[in-house]
Amino acid sequence: MVRTIPIIPRFAKETIINQMNTLKAIATITIIFILLGSCSITKSNKIEGVEELLTCKLNYLPIGNAALNKIAFGSCQSQDSYIPTLATIVENKPDLFIYLGDNIYGDTENMKILAAKYSKLCANSNFKSLVATCPILATWDDHDYGANDSGREYPQKENSKSLFLEFWGEPKDSDRHKHEGIYTSYYIGPEGKKVQIILLDTRTFRSSLLKANGKPYRNDYRPNNSKSATILGEAQWKWLAGELEKTADLRIIGSSTQFGIEYNGFESWANFPLEREKMLRLIKEKKAEHLIFISGDVHYAELSKIETEALYPIYDLTSSGLNKDWPRVEPNKNRVGNACRLFNFGSLEIDWEQRKLNFVITEHTKKVGLKQSINFSDLEFKE
């Protein structure tokens, strides 16, 4: 068979070429608009005036500079349920209270919903009583950050931060407004009784978690041993190094997730072993003495202790939750004493004269569930 090639008139060829060029131009312009649009979405993710969505605001007590003898803290409270532990805290009369995260259960990318949940907590009578009792400091965890177990991938982190800072009465000239994330520090007390409180941000910069994929891993996640994996991010690590160079008589690092436990497959620093090693190494390098951790997240309370070469024991007192519980307590070879499963709050009782520190967990029933005493000298490097 002989195939004939059709002859296209010259004017028809020119028409076809012009149409093809037009289509190419349209396609190019479309791609450009798509790219510009995506950039625009990213840049405009920040909602101006998002803090105005809060319908209830409180006047928090000033921190002051008096010596701290009793510091209380807690985590994990649903704004939708009764919070009996807050009444017990008020009766306990702490000098200061620290919220360590999951202060509300937001779990949304809708800022109107998140603001409404903050406003609901604001209207809670027990919460109002706590606010009137003592100064309050706060950091966040995943649920008030915005999504369960989330890290740097959460798309509304900037807007969530604005709501967080507004709700907790952060001064407008605070450094928290000037850098990414909400990490910060406080220095409270006179000379000889100076307490440094470092509140970490374990969400804004945190790398993705690795899903557990069968034995030997447990529960939800497995350790991430990548050198590039991070909890704090480069800027926050640099800031923390500078903080540990400063002088203090007692140092408290507040981490929303547990620092001192062994790996158990749920969220903790044990999921990022190189980051935890980096923290211990930094404490050694800076010769930062009298340092302890406080943490939350897990819906039960316990005291953990890490012992490592050339470093004093690192204690981590976990208190959780204020009105959240969990059906079981995970194994923890680093645990000191027993764990407490009832609603609870933690306390650090400081005896400045005897230079002693009491770790205390009090249940919402007012019963002391755990108490451990140490000397300041236990938190010093040995020559």
> What would the pLDDT profile of 20-64 be if each residue is shown by its tens digit?
554 454 444 343 333 333 333 334 488 999 999 999 989 999 999
Identify the pLDDT of residue 383.
74
Q: What is the pLDDT of residues 219-260, one digit of tens each?
A: 999 999 999 999 999 999 999 999 999 999 999 999 999 999
Q: What is the pTM of this model?
A: 0.89
Mean residue pLDDT across the chain: 91
Identify the pLDDT of residue 299.
98
The domain 68-379 having CATH identifier 3.40.50.10470: the answer here is no
Which ranges of the chain would DSSP assign to H, the alpha helix? 10-43, 84-92, 111-122, 125-133, 142-145, 157-167, 233-243, 273-286
Identify the pLDDT of residue 30.
40
Identify the pLDDT of residue 45.
82
Q: What is the pLDDT of residues 263-282, one digit of tens each?
A: 999 999 999 999 999 999 99
Low-confidence ranges of the chain (pLDDT < 50): 1-18, 22-23, 25-44
Identify the pLDDT of residue 32.
34
Identify the pLDDT of residue 267.
98
Q: Of 261, 350, 265, 268, which Cα lies nearest the Cα of 314?
A: 261
